[in-house]
Amino acid sequence: MKLCNFFVNGRIHTGVLTDGGVRDLTAAGYGGTLADFISAGALPAIPDGPDLDPDGLMFANVTEPSKIVCIGLNYKKHAEETGGEPPKEPVIFSKFNDALSPAGGAVRLPANARCFDYEAELVIVVGRWADSVSVEEAKDCIFGYTCGNDLSARDAQLRSTQWLIGKTFAGFAPAGPYVVTADEFDPDADHRITCRLNGELVQDDFTSGMIFPCAELVSYVSKFTRLAPGDLIFTGTPSGVILGKAKGTRVWMKKGDEVSVTIDGIGTLTNVLV
């Protein structure tokens, strides 16, 4: 099942993607947003009713996380292209919650940075409380998955050994538009993940290429911070980022650029930089 949040007359409605479009669960009498479904741990039945054209929807944030956790250098080729060694344990950093932004939304570039980069990522949507859980237990703590873009201002990120300030500008964690439930998506399978910048293919890999699989990441993170329903874990990006190119050849993103992240089995997340 693929679920989404979208705006209707200023209110957030929750929908489910069908073969014909998006079925409005809220209009059919289901209360709450996608975050409420996640917290309840129950999936809705698909009601009868008309389908809305997804291209005409204004999507809202996929959830209301208490925390956004990010994993660095989780693809071998990406670690190598940025001059690092593949890590022996997951590299963890975070973004503040106001970094979250929806599919289709405009992301405002800050005035005090200039080296803007994309990072296509599979994002885990936590479905249950996870506190020091095992890898096997972690599988049951995952509600589903969505597309994400770990936008980065490299000049700010590399000012120190701590990456936070280059990662957590407002809007720098686009995610969506759909959350596919865990029963319909195996992250260890060969799901193609791509990023296109103004239509040009710049990243192309498979989610199976992650060094640390999703269940292992949930287990590891849960040993250091308690994960709550609706929390998001950005699982790392494949090779092809601008930072990985040779100095002198890097063309950083700018206002007006359009970035699209596509993951087979989930959908396409598109945002414009302004």
User: Rounded distance, CA 244 to CA 242, Å?
Assistant: 5
Task: Classify 219 as helix, strand or coil.
Answer: helix
**Taking all residues of the chain, what is their mean pLDDT, rounded to a whole number?**
96
User: Rounded distance, CA 218 to CA 135, Å?
Assistant: 8
Span(s) in the chain for CATH 3.90.850.10: 68-273
Tens digits of per-residue pLDDT, 142-152?
999 999 999 99
Torsion of CA 238, 137, 227, 64, to 10 degrees: 80
Q: Tokens in use for 201?
A: 């293919």
Residue 263: pLDDT band (50, 70, 90) is: very high
Tens digits of per-residue pLDDT, 20-53?
999 999 999 998 889 999 998 888 889 998 999 9
**In the prediction, which pLDDT does 32 show?**
83
**In the prediction, which pLDDT does 151 show?**
98
Mean pLDDT of 232-238: 97
Q: Tokens in use for 205?
A: 């890999």
User: Rounded distance, CA 86 to CA 147, Å?
Assistant: 23
Tens digits of per-residue pLDDT, 71-111?
999 998 898 888 878 899 999 999 999 999 999 999 999 99
Burial degree of 96 (CB within 10 A; 0-12, 13-18, 19+)? middle
Is residue 57 predicted with pLDDT exceeding 90? yes
**In the prediction, which pLDDT does 44 show?**
84
**In the prediction, which pLDDT does 81 show?**
87
* CATH architecture assigned to 68-273: Alpha-Beta Complex (3.90)
Considering just the CA atoms, what is the radius of gyration of the chain in Å?
18
Residue 246: pLDDT band (50, 70, 90) is: very high
Kindly list the distances between the CA atom of residue 22 and the CA atoms of 19, 106, 178, 261, in Å, as whole numbers in the listed order: 8, 22, 10, 20
- Strands 152-153 vs 173-175: parallel, antiparallel or unpaired: unpaired
